[in-house]
Copies of this chain bind each other. A is one copy, B any other.
């Protein structure tokens, strides 16, 4: 709240000085009457220096406002500690992924985990290719939820840039992965719904070739087969609220009305409830609802909506852990890890008063 802004460029308070060149290590050394080595050692706490000298070097550096040139350090170290981050889906709208709470959290969590280990994360547009950011010194690139035969993955692997992704890259040299067990998650959810009395559970999912979505679909089909149920699948043509709402409408408008809905496409839980209401369902009396979602509104809607969390924070943590290990051991051997999901049972999928499910929140 310092000044009132006038719009547009300001007049110069001081005449345009040509920006004093940044102070380098050698400048500090000269000023302190020491050598570069000594100052470097003093600042990095490396060598064995007399306290007096060390202090003198530090003081001079501080006084002169010295800041080491990070690029030079990186070159010297041979590592830039930079990781690229792309998502496979949303190629149509390359920057839309953060609008999904899942990706928002995955992205945050990944950046956090990386930074904690000294790596910085650079956000890249979905569906872009390696050539577009070839002049950034990435030590590895994370490809979140690649689509089937994702070109980015191939591109990266061909360029011998370590790739970190989901289990679809398992076994390939230079590729590492973290994944969730989609099958187990689906079974847990469907079992829960069945336990609560559901006999006609419909599923809504995006028309996507992501490993996760494919895995969910086939696990659902298998589960239905095993229980003698007819699969009821509604595909959303695209991501985004509009298309997914339409898919939910389709599922709910079916001639044989479902008694449970498993929404795997990202859709705001309150909007799912609204759709149910619109079609004359009372949740949870006539319709049980579980959403795969990280959306915090699930806990605040009326009724609160049960969610299956993919645990983006755990995914990121486990993933970065693995990636960093691979990077720092120079490990080209593929490795991977599976992270458990978490079913959060809330009112939307509980009949009667039974707490019934895995976890209540």
A interface residues, Cβ below 8 angstroms from B: 1-5, 7-10, 12-14, 16-19, 22, 65, 67-75, 80-81, 94-99, 101, 104-105, 107-109, 111-112, 115, 118, 120-125, 133-138, 148, 159-160, 167-173, 177, 179, 211, 214, 240-242, 245, 268, 270-271, 274, 278, 296-297, 299-302, 330-338
Contact partner of A71 (CB less than 8 A), chosen from B75, B170, B335, is: B75
Q: Which residue of B lies closest to A325 (CB)?
A: B9
Residues of B within 8 A of A72 (CB): 75
- Given A241-B297, A271-B297, A335-B10, verify A133-B115 contact (CB < 8 Å): yes
Q: Is the CB of A5 within 8 A of B336?
A: yes
Contact partner of A133 (CB less than 8 A), chosen from B10, B101, B120, B167, is: B120
Residues of B within 8 A of A125 (CB): 111-112, 115
Copies in the complex: 2
- Given A2-B171, A136-B70, verify A104-B98 contact (CB < 8 Å): yes
Beyond contacts A2-B169, A268-B270: 11 other A-B pairs, Cβ-Cβ < 8 A, are A4-B170, A5-B170, A5-B179, A5-B338, A16-B333, A65-B160, A71-B74, A98-B104, A98-B108, A111-B124, A271-B297
- A337→B5 CA distance, assembly (Å): 9
- A14→B334 CA distance, assembly (Å): 11
Q: Is the CB of A300 within 8 A of B169?
A: no
Pull 25 A–B residue pairs with CB atoms less than 8 Å apart, ordered by A: A5-B179, A8-B337, A10-B170, A10-B335, A16-B333, A69-B137, A70-B135, A71-B74, A71-B137, A94-B112, A95-B109, A95-B111, A96-B108, A98-B107, A99-B101, A104-B104, A115-B125, A120-B133, A120-B136, A121-B123, A240-B296, A241-B296, A268-B268, A270-B270, A274-B301
Q: Is the CB of A111 within 8 A of B134?
A: no
Q: How far is the CB of A340 from chain B (nearest CB, A)?
A: 11
Q: Which residue of B lies closest to A108 (CB)?
A: B95
Q: Is the CB of B330 within 8 A of A19?
A: yes
Max chain B Cβ within 10 angstroms of own Cβ: one of A167, A240, A299? A167
Contact partner of A333 (CB less than 8 A), chosen from B9, B107, B214, is: B9
Contact partner of A137 (CB less than 8 A), chosen from B74, B112, B274, B336, is: B74
Q: Is the CB of B278 within 8 A of A297?
A: no
- Given A135-B70, A167-B5, verify A12-B333 contact (CB < 8 Å): yes
Q: How far is the CB of A309 from chain B (nearest CB, A)?
A: 14
Contact partner of A302 (CB less than 8 A), chosen from B167, B170, B274, is: B274
